[in-house]
Every structure is written in C-alpha cells, then in structure tokens.
Amino acid sequence: MTGAEIIVQVLADEGVDVIFGYSGGAILPTYDAVFRFNHEHKDRMPLIVPANEQGAGFMAAGYARASGKVGVALVTSGPGATNLVTPVRDCMADSIPIVAICGQVPTAAIGSDAFQEAPVSSIMGACAKHMLLVTDPTRLEATVRTAFEIARTGRPGPVVVDVPKDVQNWSGVFHGHGLLAVPGYRARLRAVEESRLDDAACAAFLENLRQAKRPLIYAGGGVIHAEASRALRDFAHAFQIPVTATLMGLGCYDTTEPLSLHMLGMHGTAYANYATDDCDFLIAVGSRFDDRVAGVPAKFARSARFIAHLDVDSAEINKVKRVHWHHIGNTGQALDKLRSYLLAQQFKPDYAPWHRHIAELKKTYAMNYDRKSKLIQPYAVIEELNKHTRGEAVISTGVGQHQMWAAQYFDFREPRLWLTSGSMGTMGFRLPAAIGAQFARRDKTVIDIDGDASIRMNLGELETVTTYGLPIKVVVLNNFGDGMVRQWQKLFFKGRFSASDKSLHKKDFVKAAQADGFPWAKRLDRNEDLARTIAEFVAFDGPAFLEVIIDPDAGVYPMVGPGVSYAEMITGDWIPSREPPKSVEIDKSEMF
C-alpha cells in the first residue's frame, strides 16, 4: 500500500464512519485514497467538506461529544493545519477525543519555508494531548493507530498526526497491527486502569458519610467521558443523595428528577449554588473545581466538613481545592464499588430533612424572568423549545448569553445531548459541532442555539447543513450585539459598550439562510407568535432556521462575579436572593 492508503485503512480498522476535512496540495494523496476506498466500499467512510478547516475540527469534536467515539479531521498543510489550532485546543480543554491528520510539505523541505509550510509540531505540541510527526514511513501505520489509542484512553483528548507528502506517496507493507512504543504513557494508563477502591478506602468514606446530614454530589464532564453516568445515577438513587452538575456535566444525571439541582457555578441555578454552600459532605466526581464553579476556592462549599474527589487524572487532585479523600481511577467502577460496599454495610441514611431543604430552595429560588414583558424573552424561547424536545434532543450552542440560557432552561435526560465549548469558550463552535453531532446521532433532533454575534463566526457552515441535507434546527437569539460582553460592561464598566454594540450592522440572517438553501427560514419578532412558530420550526422535516428578536437588555442570572462567593451571587430582578445584593469590588484582571 501507499502511505495514503495505509492511513485510510487504519481509519477504517478503527471504526471511523465519517471524516471531516478540507483538501489541499500536501494532503491530496490521502484524499485520493479516501475517494478510492469509498468507491470500493460504497461510501463506508464519507468525507464531509466544511467551509473551512476550523469547521472540520469542530465537526469532529461534535461527533466525538455526541457519540463517545474518536472524531477525525483531515486537512492540508500550512493554513489548513493552523486553522485547526482552535478546535484542537478546544478539545484539549474539554477532554474531547479527536485525531487530526495534517498534510505536511515533503520531509526534505521541512524547515525551508516551503509553500504552505507551518511548524505544526511546535504549534500543536502546546495545544494537543499528543503530537506526532511521521518522518519514517515504515512507522506510519503504527503512528496512526497509536494516535487513536492515546486520544480515547485515560483522560481523552486530541492527537495530531503530521504526515509529509512524500510519506503519503511512499509504498510499503501494511501489517494490520502494531503500535508505537510509548511505555511511559501506557504505564501511567495501566496504573489508573488497574486502580481499585479497597475496603479500607470505602470504610473511610463511609465513616465520614455516616456523620453527614446534607451530602451533595458535584458531577462534572469526567462522568460523561468515563461512561459513568449509570453508575452515578445508581449511587445517587441508592442513598438518595442530591446531584448538581457543571456546565460540562449536564446530562450525566437526569435533570428532570427530583434529586437533580441542575447546574451550579457562575451562571448555575441559585438553588444549586445555595445547596452547595449548605452541604456538609461534598462528593466531587469527574469535576475539577474550575474557576467557573469554585471561583473563590476557600469559600466554595463553605459548610462542607468533608470533601471526597473521584477522578481519572491525578493532576486534578488538590490542584484547586484541598480534599479529605480521593480516588484516582475509573470513576464508574469506583462508584459501583462504593455503592455495593455501603449497601453491604446496611447503610440506610435518612436525608428527609435535607430533601425538604432542597425542595424549599428549588421553590424559593426558582429560575424566573419577566413573564409579562412585551418583548420576547430568551428564556421563554428556550422553555418553549424544551416543551417539544422534553430533554431528549441534542443541543449545541455557541458561547455567550445564549449558551447560558440554553444550559439553564433546557432539560437533559441522558449524557451526550449537551454540546458546548466549556473551558475555551469558543464562539463559532456551535453550528459545525451540531453538524458533527447529526452524523453521530441520526436518530436525534439536533438543535443549534446561537447568538447573532457567535453565529457570524463559521456562518459559512450553514451551506454545509443544506449540502448534506441535514435536518438541523438553527436558532439565532438576536439582541444586536455581544450580549455577554455587554452584560459585563453594563455591570462593571458603567455601561460603556466598547465594540459590543452591533445594532447598526446590516446582516439579514434569514436571507443568509435562504441563500444557503434552508427551505424553512423565518424571523420571530412578536410574542404572540412564539408558541406557534416554534412548534412549526421543530416539526419541520428538514433544515430549519429561526431568528428571534429578543429583549436586548435580557441578562444571564444568576451570576457569580469574578473573585466573589456564592453568597454574593447576583440573582437579578426576578430571582430572590438570600441576602440583599452587595456592592462588590471586581478585580478587572480576573474578568472573563
């Protein structure tokens, strides 16, 4: 086989069923091999072409997030590879497994500033979980196969493989097996995989849990990556322990259940944040106490006498918040072991007073907004969509206010239904991620929730939706500007809307969608049309685009400002607060 054919055959052997990518000179041999493979195998591995390479990276990420499998992006050298930098870093920040294969100039030309050459190893090495440059063609097969192993195992992440054009054109033997020698990685991985909770550790956990009256599970995206949602639910149900999730953990526990507190953190529900303040035993599972949740670590879970932490990555233990008990290993296995041990010890706690307290928090500090406003409220749009999706649709978002409204007002009954750029906060993520998700979950309704500012980035992918006939539903909540930036400018910069007001911009999003072939494209600007229009939008059989003109002053609340605790949370005009809001000095160096 040629090197290009070897790459394609390894992809097929790894179970890849879709590739996202944009062609170019340095990757042409592999694109030709993909074409020939699909001709021979009846499009077993279709190639989806985006508007640009960043779209390809986010499509691969959306596919991986929605399926749990490794997504694949295939791009050319130079600008093709550098356009993947943001998606690769985004995947690294959110622990998403993708393999990005980049063409490169011929081996002899590397370092000569050849046409469309970029120092991919140097650039991506700082952004990816692992970076592999193939200079020995006899190791190409093992390299590509190892890239998949590294991407999917341990704490998942993106792996970049840089393949010079002469390596793609080289001919040699395809062995059908073999991996690179990465002994250090495999030793660390084996230690984690073989790590088991022993009875002594379980006994220590139980001894402290027996003393607790108000335990709370704080679940993060690691629960979803580890496929540990079932174990988490079984553990919570067995002992009736309430659950709150991070932005990345939404869906790991059914948000419609009574024990669910939905999301905590900077824009979490007020009742989840207050419950976190009130709990006396915090069980952190697959979460990392990041700054959007534990903004002031010393004041986070301030009443907790005991904090337990289960994670796959040892680097996260005691990195931000000191804990009293921890376990590094498979979180699903650990939760199952704890549950069986506690049941064997006949642990049958009575948390009825705590449940009543939680119920009162949820009633008193419920999410709310101005329901009598004549202007369309974004919260009402999400609520109406949620009535139709019932927590079972795949929801993808950009970044900004619309992202937080979607997180707050949508329900998620299972994992991998919520796709958003968490740690990187990348505008432009949403539509290409939705495209990738639709290829992963053809059985699901996929809805892209966007803002007028965020959709401008990667707007070209509207055509990709219609080119491939994908029944994706796109919602643009238009408040004529960078809404989240304006909210911060309003609160902390005396209303100086520097570069964030787009009320004079001329973009007609409906015409843009129609130009890209959307058969259903409408604008909603009257409250009385809200329910009817959304019902039509969701029911339409095919790609649909809805622009909603929303109240430009609608804010995201609750909001925990930078450098303050949950007790100082701003709840806005429609959600009660435990204490009157205080004037808080904000260190602007900590903003965003």
- The string of pLDDT tens digits covering residues 209-230 is 999 999 999 999 999 999 999 9
CATH class of 378-549: alpha beta
Handedness of CA 439, 443, 448, 449 (dihedral sign): negative
Tell whether the model's pLDDT for residue 563 goes beyond 90: no
3-class DSSP assignment, residue 541: coil
Q: How far apart are CA 463 and CA 140, in angstroms?
A: 35
Domains of the chain by residue range: 3-191, 196-364, 378-549
pLDDT of residue 170: 98
Q: How far apart are CA 557 and CA 490, in angstroms?
A: 14
Mean pLDDT value of segment 318-332: 97
Q: Find the angle CA(386)-CA(388)-CA(391) to the nearest 5 degrees.
A: 50
Q: How far apart are CA 155 and CA 248, in angstroms?
A: 14
CA distance readout (Å), 478 to 356, 387, 510, 539, 546: 40, 21, 12, 22, 10
Identify the DSSP state of 325: E
Instruction: Provide the token pair at 151.
Output: 């991407």
pLDDT of residue 505: 82
Tell whether the model's pLDDT for residue 486 goes beyond 90: no
Q: How far apart are CA 475 and CA 544, in angstroms?
A: 9
Say if CB 539 and CB 471 are below 8 A apart. Answer: no
List, for residues 245-284, the tens digit of each pLDDT value.
999 999 999 999 999 999 999 999 999 999 999 999 999 9
Q: How many alpha carbons fall within 13 Å on the CB side of residue 390?
A: 2
Write down the residue that tokens 């072991």 correspond to.
Answer: 337
This prediction's pTM = 0.95
Instruction: Provide the token pair at 584.
Output: 């808080």
Q: Going along 170-291, which residue ranges are E strands?
A: 215-219, 243-245, 260-263, 281-285
The values of phi and psi at residue 356, to 5°, are: -65, -40
pLDDT of residue 506: 86
Residue closest to 161 by CA, chosen among 1, 5, 38, 7: 7
3-class DSSP assignment, residue 523: strand
Give Cβ neighbours of residue 472 (< 8 Å, ≥ 6 apart).
431, 434, 435, 438, 446, 447, 448, 465, 543, 544
List, for residues 177-187, the tens digit of each pLDDT value.
999 999 999 99
pLDDT of residue 328: 97
pLDDT of residue 588: 56
CATH of range 3-191; options 3.40.50.720, 3.40.50.970, 1.10.150.120, 3.20.20.70: 3.40.50.970
pLDDT of residue 589: 55
Instruction: Provide the token pair at 264.
Output: 């905590």
CA distance readout (Å), 226 to 222, 229, 307, 309, 329: 6, 8, 21, 15, 10
Instruction: Provide the token pair at 91.
Output: 């995947």
Average pLDDT over the chain, rounded to an integer = 96
Residue closest to 467 by CA, chosen among 49, 47, 34: 49
pLDDT of residue 238: 98
Q: How far apart are CA 320 and CA 264, in angstroms?
A: 17
Residue closest to 104 by CA, chosen among 60, 147, 146, 166: 166
Handedness of CA 79, 83, 88, 93 (dihedral sign): positive
Instruction: Provide the token pair at 238.
Output: 């067995």
Say if CB 221 and CB 285 are below 8 A apart. Answer: no
Residue closest to 449 by CA, chosen among 384, 504, 367: 384
Say whether 196-364 and 3-191 share the same fold: yes
pLDDT of residue 23: 97
Please report which confidence band the pLDDT of residue 591 belongs to, taking 50, 70 and 90 as the band edges: low
Question: Interhelix angle for 53-67 vs 430-440, to 10°?
Answer: 50
Q: Does domain 196-364 fall into CATH 1.10.275.10?
A: no
Burial 101-118 (b: 16+ CB within 10 A, else e): bbbbbbbeebeeeeebbb
Handedness of CA 479, 485, 490, 491 (dihedral sign): positive
CA distance readout (Å), 283 to 64, 217, 276, 293: 27, 5, 11, 14
Say if CB 38 and CB 45 are below 8 A apart. Answer: yes
Burial zone of 584 (CB within 10 Å; 0-12 exposed, 13-18 middle, 19+ buried): middle
Tell whether the model's pLDDT for residue 579 goes beyond 80: no
pLDDT of residue 51: 97
List the alpha helices (DSSP H) in 390-516.
Answer: 401-409, 430-440, 461-467, 483-492, 509-515
Mean pLDDT value of segment 569-589: 76
Please report which confidence band the pLDDT of residue 567 belongs to, taking 50, 70 and 90 as the band edges: very high
Say if CB 397 and CB 430 are below 8 A apart. Answer: yes
Identify the DSSP state of 580: P
Tell whether the model's pLDDT for residue 592 goes beyond 60: no
Q: How far apart are CA 419 and CA 444, in angstroms?
A: 13
Please report which confidence band the pLDDT of residue 495 belongs to, taking 50, 70 and 90 as the band edges: confident
List, for residues 529-543, the tens digit of each pLDDT value.
999 999 999 999 999
Q: How far apart are CA 460 and CA 8, in angstroms?
A: 28
Torsion of CA 364, 368, 372, 373, to 10 degrees: 150
The residues annotated as belonging to the active site are: 53, 115-116, 165, 484
pLDDT of residue 583: 53
Residue 588 backbone class (left: φ over 0; alpha: ψ -120 to 50; beta: rest): alpha
List, for residues 20-68, the tens digit of each pLDDT value.
999 999 999 999 999 999 999 999 999 999 999 999 999 999 999 999 9
Q: How far apart are CA 5 and CA 507, in angstroms?
A: 44
Percent of the chain exceeding pLDDT 70 equals 98
Instruction: Provide the token pair at 534.
Output: 């959304």
